[in-house]
Structure 1
Amino acid sequence: MLGLTSVCVFLFSALALAVNSGYSLGALVLLLASSWLLWKRPRLDLQRRDYLLMGVMLTYFFIFTANMLYQGDPARELDMPLRVLLAVPVLLLLLAYPPRPSAWWSGVAIGAMMGAAMAFWQLIVLHLERPQAATSNAIHYGNVSMLMGMLALCGLDWAREQRHRMTWSILLLAGALAGVLGSVVSGSRGGWLVLPVCGCLFSYYYSKGRGARYLAAILGALLAACILAYILPNSRVPQRVAVAVNDIKQFQDSDNVTTSIGQRMEMWRTALTLSSNHIWIGMGRNGYLAAKQQLADAGKMNAVIKNHTNAHNDYLDALVKRGIVGVMALLALFLVPLSLFARALRHSAPGAQPYALAGVVLCTCYMIFGLTTSSLTLNIGIIMLVFPIVMLWAMLRQQERTA
């Protein structure tokens, strides 16, 4: 079973961006394998922290499901919270049979490189303006690519302790570079917002005990990399930044919602307007779409956004559809794992800290992604959050037990 969980964890990340719905393969096999616990009944030695992590996932599922049933939303809306529920038996399986660390770190690095390779092929050979690798959307590809690049950087301390530390370090650094480059060529600006935040996290973590000069060197390298990405010939970064600035100016001057950012702002403004009358439990998906249609018919909202099924912001989407209760459930899904990983980062054994750092980066990235898109309304968004959470938590707990 240890071999099976390791293979599944590797495939989960390695195929995430290079194969259509590739992230589902490893997750599905892990879910099916979790039924083994009913017969084998291994000793899990669960702690309060494990129950807390499972509890927040179950709470998220039940709150969203109850709200959907009350609002009369279509059954397909159950797909997303159901993914969170299904991560709970996978967590129990991985706590009983934790995967090999090499499976996780190699999967993340290889997955980022395979996704970037496909994106560059689409850019250079197919001449796609917005490469998306094997995903259905350039935004979500760019975000997940950036996420995998940041996760790869979390494993450098683990790589230094391995027998072939140089090989592992090069692999992880290559994965990190590929993840960032994949995000850059996708043109997904929302994913770029995580770079300064993660850069500060890495600077603090990797400079601990090494003095202020080491911290300054890391921050200087990060700043130099950002400047280089901006000034390189044919770089997409200045072009996309200039478009963003122009979109914002047009929206402010004339309420132009024909641009990408203009549409987002109109969706945010509409979601806030509609949520004010249904503040506690929201209005559901059907109520949200019906209300937008009414606003469009009355000329109070631009009709260009009436067919968008989400608010392009995780927090506003939860607010307008599920109310404050839904927003609290969403924040708990982000903040409870974040606090658990952050505490482990401060107090756990050195061997567990790379996984704690990766957990902090994962939750932080998703909180930032949610500001400019609805990450949790698609399979790739919800699965690439909850399943890495349980994988990292199981490996962290294993390192604590063996310390």
Structure 2
Amino acid sequence: MPISSFFNREIIISLLVASFPVLCLAYGSGYNLPPILLLVAALSFCRQFNKVNYTTQVKWVLGSFSIYFLTYLASTLYYGGSFAEIDMPNRIVLVLPIFLLLLLYPPKVDFLTSGFIIGSIIACIVAMIHIYDFNTGRAFSDSLESIHPSLKGYMPIQSGNMAMTLGLISLTISIHFLGKKSWWKFIFTLIAAFLGIYASFLSGSRGGWIFLPVAIVYLAFSNRQLITKKIALVSILVLGTAIFSMDQNKEITSRLDAATYQVIQYQKGHDENSSLGVRFELWKSAIYTTEQHPIFGSGYQGREVLREKWAHDGLVNAQVIKEYLHSHSHNQFLEDLSVRGVIGLTALLAIFIIPLGIFITNHRIANSPQQKMINQCGAISVIMMIGYCLSQAMFRHNSGIIFYSLITVILLAPSISMREKQS
């Protein structure tokens, strides 16, 4: 490749985009640097944003992301909260200039897919180092920062979920190579997919595994024309081997056994201070709060006051509330519903449903395997994030909201651009 072509805009932007999945889990806060560089690049091109073709799909994305942020801002102003409350959701607005930049200069698909594959492999390498070299018990443990400053920023739940998404996107890419009968690429990306998913299992983040069957069913249905008896048999053997190897990991099996035990105990009225017991109590508190303030929610300060009230009335465990008074609800849907009401929940659903609808629509009318692959990757990312948000308030953490919003616009930009070219 000539040096002059290496420094053209498309190549540089594609490299920056590809660096995001690569660096996400490479070190503790690896998800921060690429978005900053992309934002700086986007702002330097902002005078060209009038050249963007503002199609209906582009307007829906811009509108839904902006409204989600505005619900936070409105709630903060209405309840007189601290402006620190809007620090986290402003990330979803800051990706919009990046989205417009990528519509002007869509990332090269080869660069993008390579980034996801490498990122998935790195996720597993890092996870195995954490487990077998640092003996942390769980990969991506937040206790790692005591070992080295570069390890600060890992969280087992957040990072484990990110690894799962990288793995499943790699699986989607492997199916694309299967369709093209590029056997070596298929095998290599399939291995990368397994490594990313395995990294999630090493993190012990059980909430990230809930929608794994949903994702597999979606991919099987979307690529049903590729599935033959031989491929199905090989897939079952590979899956069986993977499950067996995971079953040999004591940490994974102990986490699953602990989850089953905690649910049974909670149903009997015991062990409300367990990991799952705390979640159930916080969910109950969020539901009671929503019943009190269904439309606009209670705001963060009001939510804390009501939590203490529910504990005083014996509706939720008082010890749990005392310890987790300032915590989020460990469910993004209940979090938004209780703090910002139906308005907040609607805005949250919009940033899931609108991108997912675009990916599914563009996949249905796509006339090339590459288009189908990009849209399947986008759909998988959204589907999995919906699953993560059932047991974790992903967007109350810097890593979660950056990961979802940036991955979404990174995949939406080529999806929409390819549709325009096709038209």
TM-score (norm: length of structure 1) = 0.92
Q: What residue is the counterpart of 2:145 in the other structure? A: none
Aligned length, in residue pairs: 400
User: Which of 166-175 and 364-373 deviates more?
Assistant: 166-175
| Whole-angstrom CA distance in 2 between matches of 1:159 and 1:318 | 40
Q: What residue is the counterpart of 1:320 in the other structure? A: 338
| Whole-angstrom CA distance in 2 between matches of 1:259 and 1:357 | 37
Match status 1:243 vs 2:258: yes
Trace 1:140-289 onto structure 2 (pairs within 5 A): 140-156=158-174, 158-159=176-177, 165-166=182-183, 168-208=185-225, 213=229, 216-217=232-233, 220-221=236-237, 224=240, 227-229=243-245, 232-289=247-304
User: Which of 392-401 and 330-339 deviates more?
Assistant: 392-401
Q: What residue is the counterpart of 1:48 in the other structure? A: 56
| Whole-angstrom CA distance in 2 between matches of 1:307 and 1:126 | 32
| Residue identity in the other structure for 1:379 | N
Q: What residue is the counterpart of 2:135 in the other structure? A: 127
| Whole-angstrom CA distance in 2 between matches of 1:167 and 1:215 | 15
| Whole-angstrom CA distance in 1 between matches of 2:235 and 2:124 | 25
Percent of matched pairs sharing the same residue? 27
User: Which of 218-227 and 278-287 deviates more?
Assistant: 218-227
CA drift at 1:209: 5.9
Q: What residue is the counterpart of 1:103 in the other structure? A: 111
Match status 1:34 vs 2:42: yes
User: Which of 50-59 and 126-135 deviates more?
Assistant: 126-135
User: Which of 173-182 and 392-401 deviates more?
Assistant: 392-401
Change (3 A) 1:227 1:142: same
1:360 aligned to which of 379, 382, 386: 379
| Whole-angstrom CA distance in 2 between matches of 1:129 and 1:148 | 22
Q: Deviations over 1:198-249 (max 9, x none)?
A: 11112112222656x478547745763564256x433433322211111011
Change (3 A) 1:202 1:296: same
CA drift at 1:396: 1.6
Q: Is the 8 A contact 1:199 1:222 kept in 2?
A: no
| Whole-angstrom CA distance in 2 between matches of 1:155 and 1:95 | 22
CA drift at 1:267: 0.7
Q: Deviations over 1:84-135 (max 9, x none)?
A: 1112111110000111112211111211221221211111111111211654
| Whole-angstrom CA distance in 1 between matches of 2:352 and 2:332 | 11
Q: Is the 8 A contact 1:11 1:23 kept in 2?
A: no
| Whole-angstrom CA distance in 2 between matches of 1:261 and 1:354 | 36
User: Which of 23-32 and 249-258 deviates more?
Assistant: 249-258
Q: Is the 8 A contact 1:67 1:281 kept in 2?
A: yes
User: Which of 41-50 and 261-270 deviates more?
Assistant: 41-50
| Whole-angstrom CA distance in 1 between matches of 2:70 and 2:76 | 10
Q: What residue is the counterpart of 2:67 in the other structure? A: 59
Unaligned runs of 5+ in 1: none
CA drift at 1:308: 4.3
Unaligned runs of 5+ in 2: 1-8, 142-150
Q: What residue is the counterpart of 2:325 in the other structure? A: 307
Change (3 A) 1:85 1:369: same
Three-state SS of the structure 1 residue aligned to 2:32 is helix
| Whole-angstrom CA distance in 2 between matches of 1:285 and 1:57 | 21
User: Which of 40-49 and 345-354 deviates more?
Assistant: 40-49
1:386 aligned to which of 405, 412, 422: 405
| Residue identity in the other structure for 2:379 | V
CA drift at 1:190: 0.9
| Whole-angstrom CA distance in 1 between matches of 2:47 and 2:137 | 52
